[in-house]
A = this chain, B = another copy of it.
Amino acid sequence: MSLKEKYPVYLYNTLTKEKELFEPIHKESVGMYVCGPTVYSDVHLGNIRTFLSFDVIYRYLTYLGYKVRYVRNITDVGHLVSDADEGEDKIARKARLEQLEPMEVVQQYTNGFHQVLEMFNLLPPNIEPCATGHIMEQISMVQDLLEKGMAYEVNGSVYFDVTKYNEKYDYGKLSGRKIEELMESGRALDSQDEKRNKIDFALWKKASPSHIMRWNSPWGDGFPGWHLECTVMSTKYLGETFDIHGGGMDLIFPHHECEIAQSVGSTGKEPVKYWLHSNMLTVNGQKMSKSLGNSFLPGQLISGDHELLDKGYNPMVVRFFMLQSHYSSTLDFSNEALTAAEKGYKRLVEGIKISKTLQHSEGNVDGDLEEKVKNAIDQLFTNLGDDFNTAKALAVLFEMTTWMNNFKTGHMKSTGLSSSTFNDLITHYQGFFYDVLGLKEENEGNNQLLDGVIDVLIKLRLDAKAGKNYELSDKIRDDLKQIGVTLKDSKEGTEYSID
C-alpha cells in the first residue's frame, strides 16, 4: 500500500466551506496553481507566508507519492494601482518613477523574489509562467468570451459582463457575496465609466498613448486585465479543470471570483476542484501594514534591522515559526514568539543531528513502545493530512525529539523496537523535517568543521581541568568568549553557543 493510499488527505475547500476528502482528478497526479507576486516592489512577509503554506502542501503531496505539477505565475503586467480597473499599471508606474524599462523592474523584483524564497528554502514551482508571455492566449480568451456574449467592447477596452453571466451561472459563490448587494454597495458609475455595471471587470484595457506596456489586439493597442492571466495560464498548463487553486485570502474577492467567472463563462466547466486560501499576518496583534509602521520586510526580519525587532532571526527559525500555526489561521509576529520559535527550532535540529548517529540493535521488542512509535508516525501523516496541520505535526516531531535524546542517553533502547519500526521512525522523523516541512540545519557547510575544532578545544579544557591546570582551562574559556563563543557546562557535557 503506497503512502498516498494509506494516508488520505482532507482539505478545507473555500468553495464548499467544508473539509473534504482529497480525490485528485487523475489518480496519480495533481495539478496545483498558486497566484504569484506582482513584481513591482520587494516581496512582503505576507506573501512569503502564503507561498510557504503552498510549498508545504506541494512538498507533502509529493512526499505521499503524487506527481504534482505546481504552477505559480509572475504578474508582470495588468495589475492596476486601483482594484477598480483604473489608475496606472503597478509595474509601469514603478518604471516611470525609477526611469527604467518596465521589464527591468520586472527582472529586478523577480530576482529579488526568487532570492527571498530560496532563503526560506521554498522549492521552485514546476512552471513559473508570466503574464506578458501569454498575451496571445489572453486575447484568444477575450475573443471567446465576446463570442459567447459574456463580454462587451467599449472604446477599445473589453469588459466581462457579470450580470449577463449571472443569469446563467452563479457569480459570488466562492466569496459568498450576492450580486444584488455588490450592485448596491460602493461607488456608483459616473458618466466617464465605460462599464455597463459597476461590478463588471476589465478583460482588456485600451492603452493610452503614453502607456509603454502595450500589445496589438483586435480592439487596438492595449493590455490584459489582471484577472485574465491566471485563468489563461492555469488552463494552458493544467487543463480546463484541475485540482487545487491557492492564494492569499485577500484574493478570494474579486480575483478568484473573477477567475471562476472567466473559466465558466468560456468553457462552461468549473475550473477548480479545491480552492485553498492562506490567512494574513499580524504584528503584536495588529494587522501588518505600511501605514501603521509595523510592516517589516523578510530581509529585516533576518537582519533584525527594524525598530519592532529585538534582533535578527535565522530564515529557518522564521520558517519554523510560520509552520507553528495553521495556514488558515492568522499568524502573529512578536519578539517573544520568535524567540520561543528559535529555541524550539534548535531543539529540533539537535534531535535531527542525534537521529543521524543512532543505530538499531536487535533485542526484545517492547510491545507498548512499538505501538506508541507506530502511532506517532501515523500521527505525522494524519496531522498533515488534516488540512495540512503543520503545527500538530511539529508537536509530534517534538515528542520524537525527546525519544532521540532518550536513545542517546540510554533512557530508551532501540532494542525495544523492531528494526522496521525503528527505521520508519528515523526515516519519517527526518523526512518530515527536511522534505515535508522544508527545514534544514542553519549554516550547514562549514559548521561541521567549526564543531570539530571547538570540540578539540573543549576536550583540551576537560584534560586541563582533570589535571587541575585551571589556568589553562580558564584561558580556553576566556579566549573563546573573546571571539564570541560561549561554553556552557552541564551534566551532559559542554556545549557552545555563538553570540
Residues in A lying within 8 Å of B, measured CB to CB:
69, 101, 103-104, 106-108, 111, 114, 124-130, 132-133, 135-136, 140, 215-216, 237, 443, 445-447, 449-450, 452-457, 459-460, 472, 475-476, 479-480, 483-485, 498
A73 to chain B, nearest CB (A): 12
Q: Is the pair A133, B136 in contact by a Cβ cutoff of 8 Å?
A: no
Could you say which residues of chain B place their CB within 8 Å of the CB of A126?
A: 101, 104, 107-108
Report the separation of the CA atoms of residues A498 and B104 in the bound assembly, to the nearest whole angstrom.
Answer: 42
Contact A456 B476 (CB under 8 A): yes
From B108, B111, B127, contact of A101 by CB (8 A): B127
CB distance from A213 to the nearest CB of B (A): 11
CA distance A259 to B484 in the complex (A): 59
Interface contact A101-B237, CB-CB below 8 Å: yes
Alpha-carbon distance A472/B111, docked complex (angstroms) = 52
For A128, give the chain B residue with the smallest CB separation: B107
Complexed CA–CA distance, A221 and B460 (Å): 75
Q: Are A456 and B457 neighbours in the complex by a CB distance under 8 Å?
A: yes
Q: Which residue of B lies closest to A100 (CB)?
A: B126
Sample of 13 A–B contacts (CB below 8 Å): A69-B101, A107-B126, A108-B126, A111-B124, A135-B136, A445-B446, A446-B447, A450-B450, A453-B453, A453-B480, A453-B485, A456-B479, A459-B479
Residues of B close to A133: CB separation below 8 A: 130, 132-133
Residues of B within 8 A of A446 (CB): 443, 445-447, 450
Contact between chains at B216 and A103 (CB < 8 Å): no
New contact pairs (11) apart from A450-B450, A452-B483, CB-CB < 8 Å? A106-B127, A107-B128, A111-B124, A135-B136, A443-B446, A456-B476, A456-B480, A456-B483, A460-B460, A460-B472, A460-B476
State how many angstroms separate the Cβ of A139 from the closest Cβ of chain B: 9
Which residues in B have their C-beta under 8 angstroms from that of A480? Answer: 453, 456
- Give A449 Cβ to nearest chain B Cβ, in Å: 6
Bound form: Cα–Cα A480–B459 in Å: 12
Complex Cα distance A457/B483, Å?
13
Partner of A107 from B107, B125, B455, B459 at Cβ < 8 Å: B125
A129 engages B103 (CB within 8 Å): yes
Nearest CB in chain B: distance from A250 CB, A: 27
Contacts of A476 in B (CB 8 A): 456, 460
Partner of A140, one of B106, B129, B216, B498: B216
Kindly report which residue of chain B lies nearest to residue A217, judged by CB atoms: B136
> What's the Cα separation between A483 and B126 when bound, in Å?
40
Contacting residues, chain B, for A454 (C-beta < 8 A):
453
Residues of chain B lying within 8 A (CB to CB) of residue A459: 479
Do B103 and A237 touch (CB < 8 A)?
A: yes
> Across the interface, do B101 and A449 meet the contact criterion of CB distance under 8 Å?
no
Are A127 and B107 neighbours in the complex by a CB distance under 8 Å? yes
Residue numbers in B under 8 Å from A107 (CB-CB): 124-128
B69 touching A104, Cβ below 8 Å = yes
Q: Across the interface, do B449 and A483 meet the contact criterion of CB distance under 8 Å? A: yes
> A215: which B residues are within 8 A, CB to CB?
136
Top 10 nearest A-B pairs (CB, nearest first) are A133-B133, A452-B483, A456-B479, A103-B127, A446-B446, A104-B126, A453-B453, A107-B127, A111-B124, A450-B450
Is the Cβ of B457 less than 8 Å from the Cβ of A453? Answer: yes
Expressed in whole angstroms, the Cα–Cα distance for A104 and B127 within the complex equals 5
Instruction: Provide the residues of chain B in CB contact with A484, threshold 8 Å.
Output: 449, 452
B residues in contact with A104, CB < 8 Å:
69, 126-127
Question: What distance in Å separates the Cβ of A100 from its nearest Cβ neighbour in chain B?
Answer: 8
* Distance A128 CA – B443 CA, assembled complex (angstroms): 31
**Which residues in B have their C-beta under 8 angstroms from that of A479?**
456, 459-460
A67's nearest neighbour on chain B, judged by CB, is B99
> Chain B residues with Cβ under 8 A from A128's Cβ?
107
Bound complex: CA A132 to CA B128 (Å): 13
Q: How far is the CA of A270 from the CA of B258 in the complex (A)?
A: 47
Residue on B nearest A130 in the bound complex, by CB: B133
Q: CB-nearest residue of chain B relative to A496?
A: B453
**Residue of A125, A133, A498 most packed against chain B (CB within 10 A):** A133
Residues from chain B with Cβ under 8 Å of A129 in the complex: 103
CB of A24 to closest CB in B, whole Å: 17
A170 to B267, CA, bound (A): 52
Q: How far is the CA of A485 from the CA of B452 in the complex (A)?
A: 10
Query: Within the assembled complex, what's the spacing in Å between the Cα atoms of A483 and B480?
Result: 19
> Which B residue sits closest to A123, measured CB to CB?
B111
